[in-house]
């Protein structure tokens, strides 16, 4: 089956620093990837849609200058949390649409970000 990986799986950083999270589709190409965040005991909240070769589309209320998304190739999207603060601590999950399907999303294992 289609596999999506994320790196790192866990990261701890100091307040004010930036953190980059990678999302890779390992055995398929993904024109579209999605980034979610999830707080404890809560559902997944879509942050943005990442499109290869174009700008990401952000959901309402998500700061695009805070959460930088780059989708430079058909197998890699990155999320950079800039000037991280403790309230950015969360579980970040990516997913990828397996072409040519536009419905089937494969999820990564998630990245636990802790900002001290």
Partner 1 sequence: GESVGLHLPTLSVQEGDNSIINCAYSNSASDYFIWYKQESGKGPQFIIDIRSNMDKRQGQRVTVLLNKTVKHLSLQIAATQPGDSAVYFCAEIRPGSWGKLQFGAGTQVVVTP
**Site residues, partner 1 (CB under 8 A):** 4, 6, 32, 34, 39, 41-46, 49, 91, 93, 95, 97, 102-110, 112
Buried b (16+ CB within 10 A) or exposed e, 44-73: eeebbbbbbeeebebeeebeeeebbbebee
Cβ-based nearer residue to partner 1, 16 or 55: 55
Comparing CB distances to partner 1, the nearer of 17 and 104 is 104
Nearer to partner 1, 17 or 66 (CB): 66
DSSP 8-state symbol, 85: -
Angle at alpha carbon of residue 94, lines to 57 and 34, rounded to 5°: 25
Smallest distance from the beta carbon of 52 to partner 1, in angstroms? 13
């Amino acid at each position: 089956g289609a596999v999506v990986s994320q790196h790192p799986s866990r990261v701890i950083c100091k307040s004010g620093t930036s953190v980059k999270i990678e999302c890779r589709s390992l055995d398929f190409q993904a024109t579209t990837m999605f980034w979610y965040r999830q707080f404890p005991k809560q559902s997944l909240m879509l942050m943005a849609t990442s499109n290869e070769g174009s700008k990401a589309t952000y959901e309402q209320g998500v700061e695009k200058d805070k959460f930088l998304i780059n989708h430079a190739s058909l197998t890699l999207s990155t999320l950079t949390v800039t000037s991280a603060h403790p309230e950015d601590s969360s579980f970040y999950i990516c997913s990828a649409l397996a072409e040519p399907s536009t419905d089937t999303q494969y999820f990564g294992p998630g990245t636990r970000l802790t900002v001290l």
